[in-house]
Amino acid sequence: MRITLPQTDLKVFPLCLGGNVFGWSADESQSHSVLDAYLASGGNFIDTADAYSEWKEGNVGGESETIIGSWMKARGNRADVVIATKVAKSSKRPGLSASNIKLAAEDSLRRLGTDYIDLYYAHEDDEKVPMEETLGAFNELVTSGKVRYIAASNFTSARLAQALNVSQENNLAKYIAVQNQYNLLTRSEYEEDMVPLLLKENISGIPFYGLARGFLTGKYQPGVVVESVRAGGVKDYQNEHGWAVLAQLTELANVHAATIPAVALAWLRSQPTISAPIASARTVEQLKEIIQVVDLSAQEISILNSIV
């Protein structure tokens, strides 16, 4: 199963595997097992960043890229996968200056053990640097063949629109995808601010936190204490609205003989602009929970949309 990202020739599986856990809550061996299982299930779209997983004590950043690179080298499968990585948030390579983008790209290519990146994101906006400089640097990477396409993450629609205009006016490579937060429980900012522009410009939404930091996996329930390095991130969802959404997802999962996260990701795929949501898995068992592609009816989507 493949979809083509608009404005590209990238054909990807409709679930992008998040690499943020590689080198954090999953060591190299566990990560390779998850990547093997993802590929065996038909997956081919892997998301990482130069900053992953710098936040873990003892890490320096780039661990996720290194693990993905060692996996591709061991399996000899670089041509079979679409690799997305990012620049701007690493403490060693911060921001979107031309010099930093060039150096960061070389670092990522080395860690990944490849000579090209399929999709290269500006991991966050950098208003200190003129967009002409940033996009000029990205354009050089594209024209040299080191990057196939560029994308933006954590941008506002106003800044994305400005970037698209700069690319158009200067004949530079342009952002073809956006990676912002979007899920059943975090909707308004993306839907109100970003969706109109993405529809107008035919740009892919490839959202992160598609499962609301793990809350929509179903392991969080009223009164249940979950031992996880990510548990603290879901406190804002543990309320009447969150439990109502989870209850409806559970009901639909039973109807479709599917998992709760598979249904939550199916809702995301049904939304205008969304090409492939991102979700991560620390173990093969967790991957099995998210990999199923479910088709929801218009009525089922409406029911989920209406929970307030």
Among all residues, which ones are annotated catalytic?
52
- Residue 289, amino acid: E
- Could you give the 3-state DSSP secondary structure of residue 234? helix
113-116 contact pairs (CB < 8 A, 24+): 113/69, 113/70, 113/72, 113/73, 113/78, 114/69, 114/72, 114/78, 114/83, 115/145, 115/146, 116/145, 116/146, 116/147, 116/148
The residue whose two tokens read 């740009």 is 203
CA–CA dist 267, 258 (Å, integer): 13
How does strand 11-12 pair with strand 3-4?
antiparallel
Q: Which residues contact 172 (CB under 8 A, 6 or more apart)?
A: 135, 136, 138, 139, 166
Q: List Cα–Cα distances, 100 to 90, 105, 141, 144, 206, in angstroms.
A: 11, 8, 12, 17, 25
Query: Are 235 and 212 spatial neighbours (Cβ–Cβ below 8 Å)?
Result: no
Alpha helices in 202-307 (DSSP H): 240-255, 260-270, 284-290, 298-306
Q: List Cα–Cα distances, 240 to 24, 139, 184, 222, 236, in angstroms.
A: 31, 47, 14, 10, 11
Report the phi/psi class of residue 7: left, alpha or beta, with left for phi > 0 and alpha for psi in -120 to 50: left
